Structure 1
Amino acid sequence: MNLVNIALSGMNSSRVALDVTAQNVANVNTPGYSRQQAMMASVGGSKYDHLSAGMGVEVTSIRRVTDQFLVKQVWSTNSLQSYASGYMGAISQLENTLGADGFNLSAGLDTLYAALNDATVKPESIPYRQQIINESEALARRFNTLTESLHNQHKDMNDQRNAAISHANGVMSNIAQVNKQIVEMQGTGGNPAQLMDTRDALIGELSKLVEVKTTDQADGSIQVTLTSGQPLVMGGDFSQLKAIPDPTDAYMASLHVEFGKQTFAVSGSVGGNVGAISDYQTEVLKPYKNAIDDMAKALADEFNSVLASGIDLQGNPGTALFSYDPANPAASLDITDITPEQLALSSDGAPGNADVLQGLIALGNKPVTVSGFGSLSLNDAFTAMVGELAIKTRQADSDYQAKSAMNQQAIAARDNVSAVNSDEEAANLMTFANAHNANMKVISTANQLFDSVLQLF
């Protein structure tokens, strides 16, 4: 009897739909899970029987409910948010460093010039002279510790880059492996929905490290590249990212992609966390370090030049107060072994004459060339640096807030389509359970009809 077969097809389809619903309910709290739907189609009747209503229903496929455009928006905003977060975190750390009391060069300069002004009362005074030496040494230590702090952050940025690249290489390997599994499962008629969710999550993780582009392939795999086109994952094959150290700076690096026997150089920012690290080093950290080196060199050269024009208390020509290594001025800035008597604060060495000392005091307003900030006094240069950094930090924070909001909106849009709605699934459970019971009722009715027919004989 067709009635029984039709009802059986309805029962089987309802059972599959109930299984799919149960799977959705079980994963209601699984991050990145895409809900599924049992896709049903009516089975037509015989082409020779115009009175046949049909042969029931069948489940043609189990659909993974997803919108790839929305998924790609999540990946794109992942990169933007991760870049903004990394950049903002690094520049905020630098702002806190420059604002700390022990690293404030302006405070050190003010204290040194205060000691110079105090010495004008009695230029030949050994205590006043010793105070000048002491404050000069304290200022040199400020340059040393500030540069060391910037150097440590520079090294930390490099360590973070290496860790991120290592993580990216591991993720790319996993994406390639899942690609293989999806192709194999689709080839054998299986349901790769869970594998596709896993792959989406892996690409989402990779997109936080570097900005990526993806292309769906006919065999079910996904091709992943950098936005500049270099291949990262091609089917079951994957690249290795390499950070090649800069010959002039071991903590700077250029990025290369190794795919098989080919190597591709990457120019420009790669986005994501890796891009934020390199851009921050290039745009902020190194220029500020160079500016501080310029300030240290200018301080030493200007002071030493003025002192060289004077005569000390022993009648000898003036000697240098500061010393430094030209290759790394701020880190190596120090005072010489000069004694208070050797400070040449006058042009003739006569007690009470402070003309050279006045020349040192005048240096407080003398413009010097500081890379990135032009020609201005040392105090103004550091103040300008702190002010510029504050503006950049506010801009970075605003960018982070905006990109985070975009990322949350993209995730919400994706979840609105793909995530499990417990109320919807509860309604589906009742619908499919009722359909299953109704088909059982049809079978029961068919049995009663069959029994009635048998009783006629």
Structure 2
Amino acid sequence: MGSSFSSYDIARSGMYVSQRSLNTVGHNISNVNTEGYVRQQTIMSEYNPASYGKFQVGLGVDVQQTRQIRDQFLDNMYRDESKVLGYWESKNKTIEDVEAIFGDLSGEGLQQVIDQFFQGWQELTKDPDSLTVRATVRQRAIAFTDAVNHIGAQLDKLQEDLNTEIKFKIEEINDTAKQITKLNKKIIENEGTRDVANDYRDERNLLLDKLSKLANVDITERNNGMVYVSIGGVYLVNGEKTETIKADYNKDNSMFVTAKWEKSDKIVQLTSGTLFGLIEARGDVAGYKGSVENGSVIETDDVDADAASDTYKFDPASNSLIPEIRRGLNTMVSLMARKINEIHNSGVGIDGSTGVDFFTKMDDSLSFEMGNIQVNPEFNDLDLIASSATGEKGDNTIAQKIVEFRRDELYRTTNLTVGIDDFYRSIITWIGTTGQEAARVTENQNVLVSQIQNKKESISGVSMDEEVTNMMKFQHAYNASSRVMNTIDAMIDQIINRMGIVGR
């Protein structure tokens, strides 16, 4: 009798497992469009068979677990490559903004203004006493100072925007870390009672994917199901605890922030990710006016070629994007303004004036640089503009010297001493080359990350065709188990109710 009645449990277990499997299939189909969802599979195992003498009798089937179908190796690859993608996306976006500010890469911009400025002086050499030409020189000089000051203001604004975005990214990292900590607790609570926490794990893995793009995180999952997340060897998520990152100012009186740990006040060691890309593009600098590390230059009294070569050296290999661009332009503006002033001071105006600066500073405590240069306001009196070295009518010596200054090799690049035009072109070339590299790497990383994502989807994604097939399979299995149940019931009914009544 034990063997006969145990057959009920065999059929029942088949119906139960088929029902559980159908529930899993339905759950997969319901979440086909859920971001981060990983398809689940019901894993079945047979009961330990019972021994009856020399024979073993099967006791049915049971659900061993409902597991996620995911590849941890692909998860790790995706997160590693996402860090690199986040860094280059930040850098590429910043360079695109810089190129828009300059405009020279599209054929218009500061280079055109420089050309017109020196063309004005060239016209003055032809008619050094003409007030009309002097007015043109003054107007084109104003256009030059307005252009460089505008570029400086635009770079300031870009750095401020990046600074704001850095603060947002730090807040996003903290918020994501807190959500991961909450999910750690939920997973422990559910799996501690032998329940399944696959959906919580999906949610947590999606957050870990997003976090990995923001910073160079190291992720470890312990045997208890909790994940631990660290940046530069310091735990951001430590099981059920979360460390906070703060946006703290680089230095006293600074306008820019850096990422620091709240408790220790130490700088977060970033090496990749969106946050690192933003900080590097903006410049990991103090950022106050006159800050040498943010591109201001130290002016010397000597503007000769040797002194200039030693003092001004543009570094095209720098990773600090905006500060390096500012330093290159400030180098050009400072030396250009001081050299033209030196030449102009030695000249004589129509009214006999001498020793008059052509360019002046808006703030005398700072160097000549973008945002701190203007045409001498006294030039409302055009007679003060000096084109003559002697004051004699028709003398164009000073105007000619300023025209020739354009070709003077006073600017130091990587290994050459060049004139204004070549120096400025070296800056534009560096921006263009860096932009091309950033665009190329960003595109390559996008392709790589997409390929990994596609591989993940092929393994972990929900296929409607496959799920419908599974649904039909488990439905047939359920129906078959129910028919077994009915057959066994009919057999037991025959034994109990009909045996012994033969012949009646």
1:245 paired with 2:249, answer yes
Identify which of 409, 434, 440 aligns with 1:367. 409
Asked if structure 2 preserves the Cα contact closer than 8 Å seen for 1:144 and 1:333, the reply is yes
Identify which of 340, 344, 349 aligns with 1:303. 340
Which moved further from structure 2: 98-107 or 362-371? 98-107
C-alpha displacement at 1:125, in angstroms?
1.5
In structure 2, the residue matched to 1:331 is 371
In structure 2, the residue matched to 1:279 is 280
Following TM superposition, the consecutive aligned residue runs of length 4 or more in structure 1 with deviations greater than 4 angstroms are 100-103, 370-374
In structure 2, the residue matched to 1:203 is 208
C-alpha displacement at 1:249, in angstroms?
7.8
Q: How many residues align?
A: 453
In structure 1, the residue matched to 2:154 is 149
In structure 2, the residue matched to 1:12 is 16
Q: Distance in 1 between matches of 2:108 and 2:260?
A: 37
In structure 1, the residue matched to 2:327 is 290
Identify which of 395, 401, 404 aligns with 2:437. 395
Instruction: Provide, for residues 200-219 of structure 1, a one-character-per-residue CA deviation record: whole Å limited to 9, x for no partner.
Output: 01111111211211111111
Map of 1:52-63 to 2, 5 A cutoff? 52-63=56-67
C-alpha displacement at 1:229, in angstroms?
1.6
In structure 2, the residue matched to 1:266 is 268
Map of 1:18-417 to 2, 5 A cutoff? 18-47=22-51, 49-99=53-103, 104-226=109-231, 228-247=232-251, 250-258=254-262, 261-267=263-269, 269-282=270-283, 283-324=320-361, 325=363, 326-327=366-367, 329-336=369-376, 337-338=378-379, 339-369=381-411, 375-417=417-459
Instruction: Provide, for residues 140-178 of structure 1, a one-character-per-residue CA deviation record: whole Å limited to 9, x for no partner.
Output: 101110111111111111011111111111111101111
Q: Distance in 2 between matches of 1:297 and 1:371?
A: 15
Specify the code of the residue in structure 1 equivalent to 2:187. I
Specify the code of the residue in structure 2 equivalent to 1:242. K
In structure 1, the residue matched to 2:464 is 422
Instruction: Provide, for residues 184-227 of structure 1, a one-character-per-residue CA deviation record: whole Å limited to 9, x for no partner.
Output: 1111111100000000011111112112111111110101112x
Query: Over aligned residue pairs, what C-alpha RMSD do you find?
Result: 1.9
Q: Distance in 2 between matches of 1:328 and 1:185?
A: 66
Q: Distance in 1 between matches of 2:346 and 2:340?
A: 10
Instruction: Provide, for residues 282-314 of structure 1, a one-character-per-residue CA deviation record: whole Å limited to 9, x for no partner.
Output: 321111011111111112101110011122222
C-alpha displacement at 1:372, in angstroms?
6.5
Q: Distance in 2 between matches of 1:60 and 1:120?
A: 94
Gaps of 5+ in 2: 284-319
TM-score where L is the length of structure 1: 0.94
C-alpha displacement at 1:315, in angstroms?
2.2
Gaps of 5+ in 1: none
Q: Distance in 1 between matches of 2:393 and 2:339?
A: 24
Q: Distance in 1 between matches of 2:120 and 2:266?
A: 58
Q: Indicate the percent of aligned positions where both proteins have the same amino acid.
A: 23
Q: Distance in 1 between matches of 2:458 and 2:43?
A: 20
Specify the code of the residue in structure 2 equivalent to 1:215. T
TM-score where L is the length of structure 2: 0.86
Q: Distance in 2 between matches of 1:163 and 1:5?
A: 59
Specify the code of the residue in structure 1 equivalent to 2:337. A
In structure 2, the residue matched to 1:435 is 477
Instruction: Provide, for residues 384-419 of structure 1, a one-character-per-residue CA deviation record: whole Å limited to 9, x for no partner.
Output: 211221111111111011000111011111111111
SS in structure 1 at match of 2:247: strand
Asked if structure 2 preserves the Cα contact closer than 8 Å seen for 1:102 and 1:142, the reply is no
SS in structure 2 at match of 1:190: coil
C-alpha displacement at 1:27, in angstroms?
1.1
C-alpha displacement at 1:58, in angstroms?
0.8
Asked if structure 2 preserves the Cα contact closer than 8 Å seen for 1:80 and 1:271, the reply is yes
Specify the code of the residue in structure 2 equivalent to 1:419. G
SS in structure 2 at match of 1:62: strand
Asked if structure 1 preserves the Cα contact closer than 8 Å seen for 2:411 and 2:420, the reply is no
Q: Distance in 1 between matches of 2:141 and 2:447?
A: 49
Asked if structure 2 preserves the Cα contact closer than 8 Å seen for 1:103 and 1:145, the reply is no
Change (3 A) 1:76 1:175: same
